[in-house]
Amino acid sequence: MNLPADPSRPPAETGDARARLLQAAIRLFAHQGYAKTSTRELAEVAQVNVAAISYYFGDKPGLYRAALLEPMDPTEDLARFTDPSLPLEQALAGFYAGFLEPLRQGEDAHLCTKLHLREMLESTGLIENGLARSIQPLHDALLALLVRHLGLEGVDDELQRLAICIEGLGVQLHVGLDINEAIAPGVNTGPGAVDHWHGTLLRAALAMVQAEARRRGRPLPDTPPGSTL
């Protein structure tokens, strides 16, 4: 006799069902967006029963929030550039190292970043500024770095704009990854491609900070011997 499944009990899949669902969600939501991804498709890709979504995540919005927020841990990225003893160039190098790490880790890590950026551009409204709260520590740390190296008393609107421009260089690299490769074949591939991007981003950011120092009439931030400037 076949009894109907009890939705209050976990599905019969193996113990990694939750992890498979999370991975499927990151992949599908990043490629297709939230609205075009069905719970049935998520379950099929993860090879689990549809009931697993409600069991592990409550519902489709709960799975989406988990896919967006669980992989985000700014602790390691902050440690790369927040040491006050770091010269400006080394600090910005650490900042961009965090941006570029997903490109070194392969497609899955890049998809996490793509999903975050998609939510920024096509907000679902499902996480109630949760993504912004996750990004805020990195933004605030970059502002503190700029205040320190420009010798300012605090943050103003122009400094906010400078920080957003510096961040935007890294964001655009991920958002336009496929387009960049189409218009400039090979720019994202081959030995040392990520390192080349790191150097380009760093030189551009340093130039922006130096230009802001000149605009404010502030001393140019110190850079170590052998600087890229």
CATH number at residue 160: 1.10.357.10
Q: Are residues 89 and 153 in the same domain?
A: yes
> Is residue 26 domain-resident?
yes
Domain count across the chain = 2
68-117 pLDDT per residue, tens: 888 766 677 898 999 999 999 999 999 999 888 888 877 777 788 788 87
Cα–Cα–Cα angle for 196, 198, 201, rounded to 5 degrees: 110
The pLDDT, as a whole number, for residue 154 is: 96
- Where does residue 126 fall: left (phi above 0), alpha (psi -120 to 50 degrees), or beta otherwise? alpha
4 within a domain of the structure (yes/no): no
Residue 130 has pLDDT above 70, yes or no: no
- Residue 77 is predicted with a pLDDT of 82
pTM summary value:
0.74
Is residue 187 domain-resident? yes
Q: How far is CA 81 from CA 75, 142, 145, in A?
A: 11, 8, 8
Q: Looking at the structure, do residues 182 and 121 belong to the same domain, yes or no?
A: yes
Which residue matches tokens 């009890």? 6
How high is the pLDDT of residue 128? 66
Let me know if residue 78 belongs to a domain.
yes
Domain limits at 63?
17-69
Question: Do residue 172 and residue 109 come from a single domain?
Answer: yes
- Indicate whether 185 and 111 sit together in one domain: yes
Shared-domain flag, residues 94 and 181: yes
- Residue 8, pLDDT score: 40
81 and 165 co-located in one domain:
yes
Examine the domain organization and report whether 194 and 94 are in the same domain: yes
